[in-house]
Amino acid sequence: MSISGTGTQADPYIVDTWADFVTAVETVDAYVKVDTSTVATWDFAKMVEGGLSTIIDWNAIEVDGNGLTIKGLFGTEERWFSATSSTAKVVKNLNLLDMAKTTVTTGVFHGRAIEFRNCKFSGVIEGGNFFEPYSGGVATFTTGGIAGNDPRGCAFAFKFSGDARLASAACTFNHCNMNFDGTSTNTSTQEMKMYESKISGKMPWASFKNSGGGQNVIDAEIDTIDTWSNTSGGVTLINTDKLASGLSVPSGFTGVTSTQMLDADALGAVGFIVETEEPEGGE
């Protein structure tokens, strides 16, 4: 079908093809929603021969993927999606899986004032950044609010290599699940503002800083510690069983074993509070 709707908040553009998606997303101040009633997964290689060769200007105010998965994003364009206006933007319920961001790509997303809600991202990041800020702007990956307790934040599964980072600025990760692999040669500090979030897998960076807040978990293999800091004011756990031999828990972080991570009393003893629900009929 062709694009329907008028692009307003009450009557968003409805799209179900890649071409119409791009047209709608590039429309200034538009509201966009993907129709996934027929096809909920798009195979990028079958839609765009040769991958992205030109930048997509992300001008829409809100894009609701409605559960859409775009698989296998790739391309030769330096930046794939660019949102450089100061107008706040929301991207929600959109999954970009199995992407291949090679060294020719500076950033998958380039921009400022972007909030991602309930999105999933996966693939290989070879050099550059997944998110590249513009004019001091940063991104927020969240459920919709820092104070929220909704566990359905964004999810990441990335393998890093070369001079790769998740972001070259301190983006916010609220209620996010992140699984990392690989090793980055980037010597800059990967700063993240983590709120009620978790990193598992393997830490790709030797230098890391958490400047967020709340309770966070790093349940990942750590092979190298150069400069690590936790200025969040909250509790950020590190699984000591996954530290390489000879490494110790950096100042500002709290070390616990794999067994203690599963023990609410042990976590409570170090100030990490695990909320439990009363069973039905309980007092």
Query: Is the residue at 2 inside a domain?
Result: no
Cα–Cα dist 177/53, whole Å = 31
Q: Beta-carbon neighbour count of residue 218 at 10 Å?
A: 23
**What does the pLDDT read at residue 144?**
57
CA distances from 244 to 70, 177, 229 (A): 36, 23, 18
**What does the pLDDT read at residue 223?**
97
The more confidently predicted of residues 152 and 96 is 96
User: Mean pLDDT throughout 81-85?
Assistant: 89
Range of 256's domain?
13-269
pLDDT grade for 104, boundaries at 50, 70 and 90 = low
User: Mean pLDDT throughout 195-215?
Assistant: 95
Residue 151 has pLDDT above 60, yes or no: no
Cα–Cα dist 23/4, whole Å = 12
User: Mean pLDDT throughout 66-82?
Assistant: 91
| Sole residue written with tokens 């069983």 | 241
**What does the pLDDT read at residue 48?**
92
Q: Which tokens belong to 167?
A: 């972001």
Residue 143 has pLDDT above 60, yes or no: yes
Query: Is the residue at 130 inside a domain?
Result: yes
Our CA dihedral for 116, 120, 123, 124, rounded to 10 degrees, sits at: 40
* Range of lowest pLDDT (30-39, 42-51, 75-84, 238-247): 75-84
Q: Do 108 and 131 contact (CB within 8 A), yes or no?
A: yes
Mean pLDDT, the chain, rounded, equals 90
Q: How many CA atoms lie within 13 Å of 224's alpha carbon, on the beta-carbon side?
A: 12
pLDDT grade for 149, boundaries at 50, 70 and 90 = very low
Kind and range of the H or E run holding 25: helix 18-25
**What does the pLDDT read at residue 127?**
83
Query: Is the residue at 282 inside a domain?
Result: no
Q: Quick one: which of 172, 166, 169, 123 has its CA closest to 144? A: 172
DSSP letter for 26, please.
T
Q: Which tokens belong to 46?
A: 């079958």
Query: Is the residue at 1 inside a domain?
Result: no
CA distances from 249 to 169, 203, 221 (A): 24, 14, 12
Of 3-17, 138-152, 158-172, the range with the highest mean pLDDT is 3-17
**What does the pLDDT read at residue 19?**
94
* Range of lowest pLDDT (59-68, 159-168, 170-179, 271-280): 271-280
pLDDT grade for 37, boundaries at 50, 70 and 90 = very high
| Sole residue written with tokens 């307790």 | 149
Query: Is the residue at 246 inside a domain?
Result: yes
pTM for the model: 0.91
Number of domains in the chain: 1
* Range of lowest pLDDT (137-151, 161-175, 216-230): 137-151
**What does the pLDDT read at residue 148?**
46
Query: Is the residue at 5 inside a domain?
Result: no
Percentage of the chain modeled with pLDDT above 70: 92
Kind and range of the H or E run holding 266: helix 264-269
User: Mean pLDDT throughout 17-32?
Assistant: 96
**What does the pLDDT read at residue 120?**
95
